Amino acid sequence: MSQEKQTEISALGEFGLIERLTKDFPLRNPQTVKGVGDDAAVLSFGGKEVLVTTDLLLEGIHFDLRYVPLKHLGYKSAIVNFSDVYAMNGTPRQITVSLGVSSRFTVEHIEELYAGIRLACEAYGVDLVGGDTSASVTGLVISITCLGEADKEDIVYRTGAKETDLICVSGDLGAAYMGLQLLERENRVAAQSGKDFTPDFAGKEYILERQLKPEARKDIVEELRKAGIHPTSMMDVSDGLSSELLHICRNSGVGCRVYEDRIPIDYQTACMAEELNMNLVTAAMNGGEDYELLFTVPLADKEKVEKLEGVKMIGYVTKPELGAALVSRDGVELPIKAQGWNAFTRSENDA
Amino acid sequence: MSQEKQTEISALGEFGLIERLTKDFPLRNPQTVKGVGDDAAVLSFGGKEVLVTTDLLLEGIHFDLRYVPLKHLGYKSAIVNFSDVYAMNGTPRQITVSLGVSSRFTVEHIEELYAGIRLACEAYGVDLVGGDTSASVTGLVISITCLGEADKEDIVYRTGAKETDLICVSGDLGAAYMGLQLLERENRVAAQSGKDFTPDFAGKEYILERQLKPEARKDIVEELRKAGIHPTSMMDVSDGLSSELLHICRNSGVGCRVYEDRIPIDYQTACMAEELNMNLVTAAMNGGEDYELLFTVPLADKEKVEKLEGVKMIGYVTKPELGAALVSRDGVELPIKAQGWNAFTRSENDA
């Protein structure tokens, strides 16, 4: 490795690094419709458009086997990829699964992981079509690639949001993050109290499930289709609402206003935030791992959207000059900053 | 992790494990033409067939940064995936690249890796279309997925070899393995002699290049097409000739006879084997990482094949009852056993 000027990766962050690394890769093939920069790449081989997305999950960074059962981990690993395909308004069809497995794992462990992947494939009608399994000197590595399909005219990118569009989000936010806080706390308590400790999760089932067994919003994509709504832009909320709103604003060349009191938050999320003395809005805006759909629709679709179950209008798209802001309950505009989950800073903190 | 009966992964090996894990995944989508079990999956979305293959490379298992420059590693990581698409008689078009990067790597290191990936993409006309980059607590993780395309009637599986077919292989075998032996030896010597040691690679450039910067045999696929030869089965030689021959025999339900004196071996490979006092045929049969193409053609194509540059006929396909055997120089038939590169046993040995 060369000894010239060296830059810490954390100085760029994940998105900065990816931008720097991929900028010198021109697209050469007419079959490549959209490369880096959305939830999935879009490829065209003459029939339906092919969507491709991939996720790498590393032990100690993305999951902690002290509180994530392997079956849940398998399920979630698949779901996060399906979610990216739905976020393009497509249908996931196939996955490949590559595993790196250290010697502390047995065949039965890996079968548990696969049982979770199988459940996800059954629930979403997806085929496992390939992969690669090898030894690892250090913990578990899971790399999943998902292929999906969509008609060309159905695909929704991040680039189409227009001034006056309504900003919508499905489900509720912040619960997965609170679920993780709970698991981490119980794990700390367990470590201190020794073997007899039994964690008490009563009344917190929802936030745990959101963390351990999230679902991809296939149902919302279908609802939108039935209602005849074609979003102008769409993403899934994996890094946190703030981060995703900024992606859409930047990619569409717009600004936005989102109302604090419109952000959907579950009762259990709110209780947990209070119990842990954490800021609820921060959790909902920056927690991530919600796998809900964030999308924009033309103002003309307002009535149609109002009728959708489990979808909430949280704000509207503005001119780019106005920037991205959260409007607080007392009407103050707070600039939205990307404090999304950043695996590089996180690693710095954890190390 | 559960406490029931536990089986060591090394008891099954990579192929056994994959078979066990994937057997309960029925294919549900008409778009999935071929799932697990060949060089690439084959998908159909209405236009050209889409080929998908993926490889996971882990530091300490698949590469050692003490002797593999990052740029070469990037190049090779891409090439091994392209090779799988060519082995289906397809054309690679896109890749996604996921990286796990520990804190000892800087932006400049990762740029070097990407410079190698970029070179490979340029040389083979492939687009980078996505990926995922995150921190890793332990070393470098590289997961690459490649998409390719082919006309339905052009695709060559492992299943079509028939009795009397000729078995052919491109290039030469065993050189990459000998290159690795050389690098490992020089590294041991360097560790013993301290800082002043300069490894002497003169006259060994070819085997080093075969290990550090292999190529995918795009040219052979093109030659076959021009010559009007449609192989009945094809694979790339990544795990070693023995292992690949057994795959074709099992998948096609046939046996084979391969002649020791027909196996193509480069002069440098032979010299290195002698220098290291290693069995040359074992290296060629089981070394792996050659990324040459192994294929079978109908006997009627014999004359056409003889005219191809860089392709050698090494044997023929037999009835299944005859099994797979290597015919030695003195006419003795030695059963072919899979002693291919197995990351699980290797990990056991290295640990």
Kindly tell me if the per-residue pLDDT of A347 is higher than 60: no
Inform me whether the C-beta atom of residue B151 falls under 8 Å from chain A C-beta atoms: no
Kindly tell me if the per-residue pLDDT of B143 is higher than 50: yes
A146 φψ region: left (φ > 0), alpha (ψ -120 to 50), beta (else): beta
Taking the C-alpha atoms of residue A71 and residue A213, their distance in angstroms, rounded to an integer, is: 9
Rounded to the nearest 10 degrees, the angle between the axes of helix A13-22 and helix B107-124 is 40
Taking the C-alpha atoms of residue B257 and residue B251, their distance in angstroms, rounded to an integer, is: 16
Residue with the larger pLDDT of the pair A77 and B19: A77
Kindly tell me if the per-residue pLDDT of A13 is higher than 70: yes
Average pLDDT over residues B87-110: 94
Kindly tell me if the per-residue pLDDT of B345 is higher than 70: no
All residues of chain A having their beta carbon less than 8 Å from the beta carbon of residue B50 are: 43, 45, 50, 147
All residues of chain B having their beta carbon less than 8 Å from the beta carbon of residue A58 are: 100, 134-137, 141
CB A250 within 8 A of CB A19: no
Taking the C-alpha atoms of residue A231 and residue A156, their distance in angstroms, rounded to an integer, is: 7
Closest residue to B28, CB basis, from A41, A50, A127:
A127
Q: What is the DSSP string of B283-301?
A: HHHH------EEEEE-GGG
Cβ of B139 within 8 Å of Cβ of A134? The answer is no
CA distances from B4 to A24, A107, A108, A112, B344 (A): 51, 11, 8, 12, 22
The pLDDT of residue B193: 83
The pLDDT of residue A3: 55
Average pLDDT over residues B262-276: 96
Helix ranges (H only) for chain A are 13-22, 70-86, 107-124, 175-193, 205-212, 218-226, 241-252, 267-275, 280-286, 302-306, 343-350
Using the structure block, give the residue that is written with the tokens 């030469």. Answer: B172
Kindly tell me if the per-residue pLDDT of B14 is higher than 80: no
Q: Which CATH code, of 3.30.70.920, 3.30.1330.10, 3.40.1260.10, 3.40.50.2300, is assigned to B9-154?
A: 3.30.1330.10
Average pLDDT over residues B139-149: 96
The pLDDT of residue B200: 78
A125 to chain B: nearest residue by CA?
B28
**B285 CA: distance to closest CA in chain A (Å):** 21
**A127 CA: distance to closest CA in chain B (Å):** 5
Average pLDDT over residues A129-141: 89
Cβ of B58 within 8 Å of Cβ of A24? The answer is no
Closest residue to A106, CB basis, from B7, B132, B346:
B7
Q: What is the pTM of this model?
A: 0.93
Average pLDDT over residues A192-200: 77
Kindly tell me if the per-residue pLDDT of A280 is higher than 50: yes
Q: What is the pLDDT of residues B325-340, one digit of tens each?
A: 999 999 999 999 876 4
Q: What is the pLDDT of residues A295-313, one digit of tens each?
A: 999 999 999 999 999 999 9
Q: Which two tokens stand for residue B158?
A: 């492992």
Q: Which two tokens stand for residue B220?
A: 């052979």
A vs B: CB pairs below 8 A: 318
**B313 CA: distance to closest CA in chain A (Å):** 30
Cβ of A14 within 8 Å of Cβ of B134? The answer is yes
Kindly tell me if the per-residue pLDDT of B1 is higher than 70: no
A145 to chain B: nearest residue by CA?
B145
Kindly tell me if the per-residue pLDDT of B13 is higher than 90: no
Cβ of A9 within 8 Å of Cβ of B114? The answer is no
Residues 40-99 in B contacting A (C-alpha not used; CB under 8 Å): 40-41, 43-50, 52-56, 58-62, 65, 70, 93-94, 96, 98-99
Q: Which residues pair with A169 in a beta bridge?
A: A294, A312
The pLDDT of residue B3: 55
| Architecture of domain A166-350 in this structure | Alpha-Beta Complex (3.90)
All residues of chain B having their beta carbon less than 8 Å from the beta carbon of residue A146 are: none
Nearest residue to A55 (alpha-carbon basis) of B39, B141, B63, B66: B141
Residues 106-145 in B contacting A (C-alpha not used; CB under 8 Å): 106-112, 114, 118, 121, 125-139, 141, 143, 145
All residues of chain B having their beta carbon less than 8 Å from the beta carbon of residue A56 are: 98-100, 132, 134, 141, 143
Q: What is the pLDDT of residues B48-68, one digit of tens each?
A: 999 999 999 999 999 999 989
CA distances from A329 to A134, A173, A263 (A): 52, 17, 11
Domain B166-346, CATH class in plain words: alpha beta
Inform me whether the C-beta atom of residue B346 falls under 8 Å from chain A C-beta atoms: yes
Helix ranges (H only) for B149-240 are 175-193, 205-212, 218-226
Q: A73 in helix, strand or coil?
A: helix
Q: If pLDDT is split at 50, 70 and 90, which confidence band does B16 have? A: confident
Q: What is the pLDDT of residues A313-346, one digit of tens each?
A: 999 999 999 999 999 999 999 999 876 445 454 3
- DSSP assigned state of B9: G
**B167 CA: distance to closest CA in chain A (Å):** 26
* Residue of B19, B22, B45 to mutate when probing chain A, most A C-beta within 10 A: B45
Average pLDDT over residues A185-208: 86
Kindly tell me if the per-residue pLDDT of B190 is higher than 90: no
| Architecture of domain A10-154 in this structure | 2-Layer Sandwich (3.30)
The pLDDT of residue A346: 37
Average pLDDT over residues B190-198: 79
Inform me whether the C-beta atom of residue B265 falls under 8 Å from chain A C-beta atoms: no
Cβ of B347 within 8 Å of Cβ of A103? The answer is yes
Average pLDDT over residues B249-260: 97
Average pLDDT over residues B290-295: 98
Does the ipTM exceed 0.85? yes
Kindly tell me if the per-residue pLDDT of A261 is higher than 80: yes
Q: If pLDDT is split at 50, 70 and 90, which confidence band does A201 have? A: confident
Q: If pLDDT is split at 50, 70 and 90, which confidence band does A189 have? A: confident
All residues of chain B having their beta carbon less than 8 Å from the beta carbon of residue A346 are: 135
The pLDDT of residue B346: 37
Q: Which two tokens stand for residue B335?
A: 């059963």
**B118 CA: distance to closest CA in chain A (Å):** 7
* Residue of B17, B59, B114, B136 to mutate when probing chain A, most A C-beta within 10 A: B136
Closest residue to A25, CB basis, from B9, B118, B145:
B118
Kindly tell me if the per-residue pLDDT of B344 is higher than 70: no
The pLDDT of residue B12: 83
Mean pLDDT of chain A: 92
Kindly tell me if the per-residue pLDDT of B96 is higher than 70: yes
**A254 CA: distance to closest CA in chain B (Å):** 24
Inform me whether the C-beta atom of residue B103 falls under 8 Å from chain A C-beta atoms: yes
**A88 CA: distance to closest CA in chain B (Å):** 14
* Residue of A145, A154, A289 to mutate when probing chain B, most B C-beta within 10 A: A145
A22 to chain B: nearest residue by CA?
B128
Taking the C-alpha atoms of residue B178 and residue A262, their distance in angstroms, rounded to an integer, is: 65
- Give residue limits of the domains in chain A: 10-154, 166-350
Taking the C-alpha atoms of residue A292 and residue A130, their distance in angstroms, rounded to an integer, is: 28
Q: If pLDDT is split at 50, 70 and 90, which confidence band does A63 have? A: very high
Buried b (16+ CB within 10 A) or exposed e, B82-106: bbbbbbbbbbbbbbbbbbbbbeebb
Non-local (6+) Cβ contacts of A202 within 8 A are: none
Average pLDDT over residues B186-211: 87
Q: If pLDDT is split at 50, 70 and 90, which confidence band does A108 have? A: very high
Closest residue to B127, CB basis, from A35, A111, A344:
A35
